[in-house]
Structures are given as C-alpha cells and as structure tokens.
Amino acid sequence: MFVDVDDYLRPHLEALMRDGAPDQLFDAHTHIGANDPDGMKQSPAELLAVLHAAQARGVVFPMHEPDGYPPANDAVLAAVEASGGRLVAFCRVDPRADAVSEARRCMDAGARGIKLHPRAESFALSEPVVRELVALAHDRSAPVLIHAGRGIPALGRDTVELSAEFPRARLILAHGAISDLAWLWAELRAHPNVFVDTSWWHPSDLLALFALAPPGQILWASDSPYGDPLFAAIIGLRCARQAGLTPAQLTAVMGGQLDRLLSGEEPLDVGPAPGVIGPGLHPLLERVVVHATGALQRQLAQADPTEPLELARLACAVGEQGPHAVLMSEVLELLDAFDRLVQPPVEGRMFPDALRLVVIALVLARTPDVGLPERPDAPRPVRAEID
C-alpha cells in the first residue's frame, strides 16, 4: 500500500479540528507561478489541491517574476475566478515598475490587496512609492502583505510609521515578523492595523508570537508552495493552543479575522495576548527539540542531517513508563517515517516533502500540552534502534 507524507500528518490535523478548531481555515499567504529564480513552482491546480487537503481557502498572489507582474497578476485573477470561491487575489507589484497604476488596475479588476517583497525587488519601505501604495490601500481599507524575513533594514520601524499615517490600511508582516518580533510585539496593541502572519516553521518563534502578540493581530498562513497548508495548520493550531489561546481567539487567527479584513470591515479585538507561557519545557523534551532543530538546519543548508536525526530518535527512548512516553512515541514514529519516505525533492521544490515530518516531530515535542491523535491499537514501545 502506498503511503505518503500527508498520511502521517492528516490524523494530527483531524484531531486538532475535532478539538474545537474552526470548520474551515483561511490561509493568508500562498503563491502561484513558474518563473521564480529560486526554482520553486506552483500551478493553480496544485494550490487548490493542497488547500483542499487542509480544508482551507487561500489568498494568492504571484511568485517572483523578474520580467514584470502584469501578466502574472492577470493569471492570479483568472485562477481566482475559476476557483469557485476558494481563492482570493492579491496583486504583486514592483515599486520601480509603475506600481501604483498596476495595483489600482488589479484592485479595480477584483484583487483585494497588495503583496510587496522588499528583498526580492530590492527596495525599502521608506521609499515614496511604497507610501503611495499604502495610501491606496488606506483609501480602500485593503491589506498590504509584506515579506518580513531577515535582511530588510528598518522594516518594522517603517511599517509602524506607515500604519500610524494610514490607519485604514491593513499592513500584514509575513513569516512571523521574525526580523523584528523581538520588539515589535510590544508595539502591536498601539497599532491595531498591523498584523503578523504565521508562515514560519520553528515553534519557538511561533510560540513567542502567540504568547506575546494580541491574537486578533495574528493571521494563519502557509507560504505555499514554500510551506504547505496541511502542515502549517498543524503547526499553527498546536502552537496557538500551547500558548493558551481561547476558541474565539483561534477562530480569529485561523481565518475569521482575515475574512473581515478582506471584506473591508473593522478588525475584531479578541482580547490581549496570553503572556509568557508557563513552566519550562521538560529537559527530556528539550533534547528532542534541540537535536531535531539541528537536523533541520543541516537539511536547510543542504548538508547531511543523519547524525542529529539519530540523536533526536535516541532522545525519544524514555521507556514505556517514562516522561511523555506517548508523545515521544508519536515523535519517533514521524522521525522513522522520514527515514522511510525521504527522497530527493521533486522539480519546483527546494526540499524533500518528507522533511515536513521532522518539522512536525519538532513541533510535537515543543507543544506537549496539546492533544494527539487517538491510536488505541498502536503499540507504545518507546525505543530507537540505531546502528
């Protein structure tokens, strides 16, 4: 019988959905395109398939297009029109290529927001044309989603300044705002039109976001095809629950707030951030987290992850009566499945699909207070056999 990565992940999402998650999720950050210089690709049909697997709708915009965005924006609008309501369009613009006119054209044609990528297009948010684009979004009470990874000077500061000047623009910092989260979380309450999307993979960053940022200003996202909606939903729901979000706050994060923003409505205030998470991680779980993180960092650097993966597996060997034995067994199952299923990445992807199993193993170890799939017939010997 053929088994793929999703067969291991799906029970985790189903368990989370049964435990009070919203019926349908709304992904704030996905792409389509075939010309990105990094080699990544995703067709509209592929995007719809991965959203369907996560029971999700999605906001979609073009991937990087070095030759310009008008044809790519038209392709997004066409994909949205054909999606039966599952997709919502944002246009992507290059501030050095008649960006305001292109954004206005696309929004008149049905796009509901704007995507900016300061790193790919090599611009700063302090440039005058960015201010014009945010002013356009302000006039239309529309979102502007901004890539917020490392290597973009003053991104957080410029975003806060723009949000104060244009309060009806909804400014969304992508990728957990990891470039500026260390201080930005404390500013969010004073800037209710600044939002952060969760399209990131490490639970430490996401737990910090969910614990410290107002939940009404967090939007669930996958970054598909760089991420995957099913995978991202498990990470987002587990980290949010570990941080102590209420069911109403989860509903807002996982799509309810995004729906309001896209409709031009005022965002909901669903209460303050939970605050610093309680007792520290059990030291035996921390060992799994550290070694799994090391394996992932090696894989991301195109190096051999075997040694830290073996250490992570050995860290699970707490015995049937040991601390967190059931959780450790789930983690070990995912790590073993990675060994069985890992293959070279397919064309249009940077990393093997099976790498998602290691990330979810890491997330499980870092969110021990969140439930697991029920497996009444599964054996629970917790051991790792390493040659």
User: What is the mean predicted confidence (pLDDT) over 324-335?
Assistant: 96
Closest CA to 267 of 380, 143, 85: 143
Entry pTM: 0.94
Q: By percentage, how much of the chain surpasses pLDDT 70?
A: 95
DSSP conformation class of 201: -
DSSP structure string for 298-321: HHHTTS--HHHHHHHHHHT---TT
pLDDT tens, 234-246?
Answer: 999 999 999 999 9
Beta partners for residue 261, in sequence order: none
Distance CA 247, CA 77 (A): 33
pLDDT of residue 52 exceeding 90, the answer is: yes
pLDDT at 335: 96
DSSP structure string for 13-36: HHHHHHTT--SSEEEEEEEEBS--
Distance CA 8, CA 15 (A): 12
Residue 342 has, within 13 A of its CA and on its CB side, a CA count of 16
Q: Which amino acid type is present at position 223?
A: D
Q: How confident is the model at residue 385 (pLDDT cuts 50, 70, 90)?
A: very low
pLDDT tens, 250-305?
Answer: 999 999 999 999 999 999 999 999 998 777 899 999 999 999 999 999 988 889 99
Q: Which two tokens stand for residue 193?
A: 């039109």
User: What is the mean predicted confidence (pLDDT) over 154-180?
Assistant: 97
Q: Which two tokens stand for residue 176?
A: 């957990």
Nearby residues of 238 by Cβ (< 8 Å), 6 or more positions away: 16, 203, 363, 364, 367, 370
Do the bridges between strand 194-197 and strand 170-173 make them parallel or antiparallel, or are there none, so unpaired?
A: parallel
Closest CA to 175 of 211, 222, 208, 137: 222
Q: What angle do CA 334, 339, 342 make, to 5 degrees?
A: 100
Q: Which two tokens stand for residue 280?
A: 């520290």
